[in-house]
Structure 1
Amino acid sequence: MLTMDNVRKTYVVGDVKEEILKGISMSLHEGEITALVGPSGSGKSTLLTIAAGLQRASDGHVLFEGENMTTMRPEQVRNIRASKFGFVFQFAHLVPFLTVEEQLILMLDVSASKMKKNETKQEINKVLQLVGIEHRKDAYPSSLSGGEKQRVAIARAIIHKPKVLFADEPTASLDSKKSNEVMSLIRDLTKTLKMTTLIVTHDEDMLRYADHIIKMSDGKIL
């Protein structure tokens, strides 16, 4: 589904060059969770953002469904991000003045979904049921718990049926009980929806939910 071939990332500040990624090659597969682990500064989040098309590699290639994202025009990459990728971050980043249902409607608009109005309502209800929060669809973020907010963030990330789900520290702001609930949900959705999921985490307790674990250090895969 998504392959990285000898990916490097170098930042240049004045006369100083810092190589963050040093020739990363890896493949992600449908219906599987791959977890990136390693100490702070090892390059995990940089690798995720390059895989997701949020920044470009300095060298190497990122292939999505056989197409080279590295050589695409910026608008082509943006279209892939909006329509084929889903994102979950450490904090939910919900729009404070939109209800749970409206958060998902906004995502469908951003992804240029071609669903009709009646189909949109049905799909939103279905996804909210999948993440176990259908009873809160008219609630605003201020009335949601941390776990509920993250479930809404996951629902928003999958409402447009992405091929790849990127999650950067999705449980870092939650207690252990809520963390396990969120990771169990991500695992179940990955299998049910046949997504390709890439997760960055510092929490080794969450690794039991992954199909593959990639350990990184100093910009390399160990």
Structure 2
Amino acid sequence: MALFQIDEVRKTFTNGEVKEEILKGINLSLKEGEIIALVGASGSGKSTLLTIAAGLQRTSEGQVIFEGENLTGMSPEQVRKIRASKFGFVFQFAHLVPFLTVEEQLMLMLDVSESKLEKREQKREIKRILQLVGMEHRKNAYPSSLSGGEKQRVAIARAIIHKPKVLFADEPTASLDSKRSKDIMTLIRDLTKTLNITTLMVTHDEEMLSYADHIIKMSDGQIAT
């Protein structure tokens, strides 16, 4: 059984009397331990699909099934709890809290996800994850002292500290140069395999597609065949 099943998902936005269908009956299955890249021109619907899969907005029609449960039929609070405990997010910019150290960024995420680990165990887990992303030596640093690549590494650590099942990555390398982009994608690929996470990624950068297990091309709100 697929970890994620997206069935006949449609999304329509209304602007006055004008209705615009952004997604036009999307069907997609996501398996564990894979990186799936969504590509397409601006306006093709790829970011809308990612946010719907992540429970950040509702479908107009269709269903999103995660671990056998229908997210579409859940209350906002039920979806929020799944998002906090089972999903991780990485965006184009790291969006780190400026007055928290690297270690404190991860501690905050554990609090948000309602981690059941004791404080001593949380410290050990934070150290382990920071070592995985190569940032343990910067655990006491504040965001203002970090490079762009270091900030994104911390953002990835924050996204996986609570052991999510799915990592949603929206243009995770768009703000980085070519070398740092490759470093970050190598890190995402290695973590996806090591931790058996499913990664759904939106990208415009064709060089990043070589890191994906599957590439889904979107055009005009549909999956291109």
Using the size of structure 1 for normalisation, the TM-score is: 1.00
Alignment of 1:204-215 (within 5 A): 204-215=206-217
Match of 2:11, SS state, is: strand
In structure 2, the residue matched to 1:126 is 128
**TM-fit CA distance, 1:35:** 0.2
Instruction: Provide the rounded CA distance (Å) in 1 between the counterparts of 2:69 and 2:199.
Output: 18
* Aligned 1:147-158 pairs, distance under 5 A: 147-158=149-160
Partner of 2:114: 112
**Aligned partner letter, 1:128:** L
Q: Deviations over 1:34-92 (max 9, x none)?
A: 00000000000000000000000000000000100000011100000000000000000
What one-letter code is carried by the residue in structure 2 that aligns with 1:198?
Answer: L
1:159-205 deviation digits (Å, cap 9, x = unpaired):
00000000000000000000000000000000000001100000000
Q: Is 1:21 aligned to residue 16 of structure 2?
A: no
Structure 1 letter corresponding to 2:115: S
Identity in percent: 79
* Partners of 1:100 and 1:172 in 2: CA distance: 22
Give the equivalent residue in structure 2 for 1:6.
8
SS of the equivalent of 1:6 reads strand
SS of corresponding position for 1:115: coil
CA distance in 1: counterparts of 2:15 and 2:201, whole angstroms: 29
Query: 5+ residue gaps in structure 1?
Result: none
Q: Which amino acid aligns with 2:36?
A: T
Q: How many angstroms does 1:125 deviate by?
A: 0.2
The within-5 A match list for 1:178-197 is: 178-197=180-199
CA distance in 1 between partners of 2:200 and 2:29 (Å): 10
Match of residue 57 from structure 2: 55
Q: Distance in 1 between matches of 2:87 and 2:81?
A: 9
Whole-angstrom CA distance in 2 between matches of 1:83 and 1:46? 22
- Alpha-carbon distance, 1:13 to partner: 1.2
- The structural deviation recorded for 1:99 is 0.1
Task: Note the alpha carbon deviations across 1:96-144, whole angstroms, 9 max, x for none.
Answer: 0000000000000000000001100100000000000100000000000
Amino acid at match of 1:63: I
Question: What are the ranges of 5 or more consecutive residues in structure 2 without an aligned counterpart?
Answer: none
Query: Counterparts in 2 of 1:164-175, with a 5 A limit?
Result: 164-175=166-177
| AA of the residue aligned to 1:13 | N
CA distance in 2, matches of 1:44, 1:160: 26
Match of residue 201, structure 1, among 187, 203, 222: 203
- Distance in 2 (CA, whole Å) between partners of 1:68 and 1:74 is 13
Q: Give every structure 1 segment of 4 or more consecutive aligned residues whose post-TM-superposition deviation is greater than 6 Å.
A: none
Q: Which amino acid aligns with 1:52?
A: A
- Deviation for aligned residue 1:14: 1.0
> Normalising by structure 2, what TM-score?
0.98
What do you get for the CA RMSD once the two structures are aligned? 0.3
